[in-house]
A and B are shown apart, each in its own frame.
Chain A
């Protein structure tokens, strides 16, 4: 099921917005790869650059956002950033599909859902409406919509939030995409529905070998279904690795902070949750060294002056930190020290 071939390779992605006060860099030199059939989670706070990264892949960022020339996003070796809008439209919905955070607003309220699914099929395939409708029916069954035939004629307001998110998934699957970008797909749903939607996503990976880029701030979701995880802070990737490894041994103080701020169901009851002190810095006034330095309890003078190098461990994980955390009993084992950033 899982192969090691790369599907998507994001290299040195630098997205910036020129302003009169200087450049804002929502994504600053981000590189990662997604393999075929893998679920990659992208985690971070609001404003960390998750959404800009994913919309860069879709080519749907606001026109104010520009890219530095060294940036590239390779899908099967083809650089999406170099494509013309017309060529990119053939990829959107066809090779890469996306589902969004709030299913209450993501579907067109005045069109029947059947019509909306059919639209994404006939945009990319030269088939008749009737045939496309059959495919739409299959898709609805696939994502577990009961009484699918009747549902085709329904309008979004006649369905619940969970149902609508299933419709969104069905719509995204319309052309068998290789990559599905799911931008906080469960945030707006209640917990039981969340689990159902996550199950559907997991099944897609198993059955169709679809790669999924899962954007979330919910570490529970990450632990549940992702294979690997990227942690973003201030437009940079601060930690990357397999979910197992990162959860067992978070090395970046920020990752650790995120995990500590999740309440635990077991163990003694605590009065106050851990928080990460301070706020995300103003993107126009980023600190000179490490971006996290203003909020990090392990910060040293070096952190204040020099941007950290990206350190790779033998486990395959990597971290951008001068003082990576070490769990007791686990030795610091540098495999390679690449010097990105």
Chain B
């Protein structure tokens, strides 16, 4: 049963990958500016440009370029960066490892922060803590993440000097330095997530707490903590799982800004640089990997959903 469900979900991924990559591929080639011109500089002769365009395959139609790229990609060859000559798959995987650590920490902050605020809010409804968490719920959604990032750097790095303002250390290298470096970017990235999960989970939990089965639990003699944690939260999390899945893609996209602000060598920064340098092969690789990540997360969301809710049939 479960295997069939998995298989069906995987089959469903294939057309999604094809369509999204085609769209993205076309858009990348439509970015104004000629990669050949960027590579050769201002003084290039038209002959040289035409020659390079032919080498890169830029003289062909978008569709045929796309299928060339796709066939090579299926073979595991994403090509080389037109700018640095580095293998795209190597660069992308190296950068992804960095971004993955950042996004996971930001997700942990979002989920646990969101659950903490939502649960305390529900336990003490209309208390000061409820108002504070609702205030931050609104603020976190409204605040642009790059601005929050700059405020955090100003205060914690420049004023207090507690954590470095920029840079990144991998967790495998030095967990303590990793933690110090990742804190501000992860908070800037996770603030929106915390706010969204708080708001969504709070309203979901409030609704669940007035459900009949919670009244049944009270009639058995449970206290409020037990009612919330044993009976409320699992039911209330069901709609929130969807939010969390969407949030992951959202955060992955937001790394483009946050990694630039904090000078973190992740996939977001790579994307920005590739756009600026017209490094279209690299950009295609970056976008492909982001799409794959988002599809993967959606897939995991579906599975988590099925695990949380016994009513869902595979």
Q: Is the CB of A155 within 8 A of B211?
A: no
Q: Does A12 contact B (CB under 8 A)?
A: no
Q: Does B41 contact A (CB under 8 A)?
A: no
**How distant is B211 from chain A, measured CB to nearest CB, in Å?**
7
Q: Does A89 contact B (CB under 8 A)?
A: yes
Residues of A in contact with B (beta carbons under 8 Å apart): 58, 60, 86, 89-94, 97-98, 100, 102, 105-111, 119-120, 123-124, 155, 157, 168, 171, 174
Contact of A108 among B218, B221, B235 (CB under 8 A): B235
**How distant is A160 from chain B, measured CB to nearest CB, in Å?**
15
Number of B interface residues in the complex (CB < 8 A): 20
With the chains together, A93 CA to B216 CA distance in Å?
10
Q: Is the CB of B310 within 8 A of A106?
A: no
With the chains together, A93 CA to B218 CA distance in Å?
9
Q: Is the CB of A107 within 8 A of B311?
A: no
Q: Is the CB of A110 within 8 A of B219?
A: no
**How distant is B224 from chain A, measured CB to nearest CB, in Å?**
9
Q: Does B231 contact A (CB under 8 A)?
A: yes
Contact of A109 among B215, B218, B219, B235 (CB under 8 A): B235
Q: Is the CB of B220 within 8 A of A171?
A: yes
Q: Does B234 contact A (CB under 8 A)?
A: yes
Chain B residues with CB under 8 Å of A108's CB are 213, 216-217, 231, 235
Chain B residues with CB under 8 Å of A91's CB are 221
Q: Is the CB of A106 within 8 A of B220?
A: no
Contact of A168 among B216, B218, B309 (CB under 8 A): B216
Q: Does B212 contact A (CB under 8 A)?
A: yes
Q: Does B308 contact A (CB under 8 A)?
A: yes
Q: Which residue of A lies closest to B230 (CB)?
A: A119
Q: Is the CB of B223 within 8 A of A89?
A: yes
Contact of A110 among B212, B216, B218, B235 (CB under 8 A): B235
Q: Is the CB of A100 within 8 A of B221?
A: no
**How distant is B114 from chain A, measured CB to nearest CB, in Å?**
20
Residues of B in contact with A (beta carbons under 8 Å apart): 211-213, 215-223, 230-231, 234-235, 308-311
**How distant is A103 from chain B, measured CB to nearest CB, in Å?**
9
Chain B residues with CB under 8 Å of A105's CB are 211-213
With the chains together, A74 CA to B14 CA distance in Å?
68
A sample of 16 cross-chain residue pairs with beta-carbon separation below 8 angstroms, ordered by A number, consists of: A58-B219, A60-B219, A89-B221, A89-B222, A92-B219, A94-B221, A98-B219, A100-B216, A105-B212, A105-B213, A108-B217, A109-B311, A110-B309, A119-B217, A124-B221, A168-B216
Chain A residues with CB under 8 Å of B234's CB are 110
Q: Is the CB of B311 within 8 A of A157?
A: yes
Chain A residues with CB under 8 Å of B311's CB are 109, 155, 157
With the chains together, A171 CA to B213 CA distance in Å?
12
Chain B residues with CB under 8 Å of A97's CB are 219-220
Q: Which residue of A lies closest to B211 (CB)?
A: A105
**How distant is B213 from chain A, measured CB to nearest CB, in Å?**
4
With the chains together, A100 CA to B219 CA distance in Å?
10
With the chains together, A203 CA to B43 CA distance in Å?
100
A108-B235, A157-B310 known; A100+B220 contact, CB < 8 A: no
**How distant is B14 from chain A, measured CB to nearest CB, in Å?**
33
With the chains together, A239 CA to B47 CA distance in Å?
106
With the chains together, A60 CA to B210 CA distance in Å?
12
Closest 7 A-B residue pairs measured CB to CB? A93-B221, A93-B220, A105-B212, A120-B220, A92-B221, A155-B310, A98-B219
Chain B residues with CB under 8 Å of A124's CB are 221
With the chains together, A110 CA to B312 CA distance in Å?
11
Contact of A106 among B212, B221, B235, B308 (CB under 8 A): B212
A100-B212, A100-B216 known; A110+B308 contact, CB < 8 A: yes
**How distant is B225 from chain A, measured CB to nearest CB, in Å?**
12
Given A60-B218, A92-B219, 20 additional A-B pairs, CB 8 A? A60-B215, A89-B222, A93-B219, A94-B221, A98-B219, A100-B216, A105-B211, A106-B213, A108-B213, A108-B216, A109-B213, A109-B309, A109-B311, A119-B217, A119-B222, A123-B220, A123-B221, A123-B222, A157-B310, A171-B216
With the chains together, A100 CA to B212 CA distance in Å?
8
With the chains together, A120 CA to B216 CA distance in Å?
10
Q: Is the CB of A109 within 8 A of B220?
A: no
**How distant is A58 from chain B, measured CB to nearest CB, in Å?**
6
With the chains together, A110 CA to B307 CA distance in Å?
10
Q: Which of B211, B213, B220 has the most CB of A within 10 A?
A: B220
**How distant is B215 from chain A, measured CB to nearest CB, in Å?**
7
Q: Which residue of B lies closest to A62 (CB)?
A: B210
With the chains together, A91 CA to B220 CA distance in Å?
9
Q: Which residue of B lies closest to A120 (CB)?
A: B220
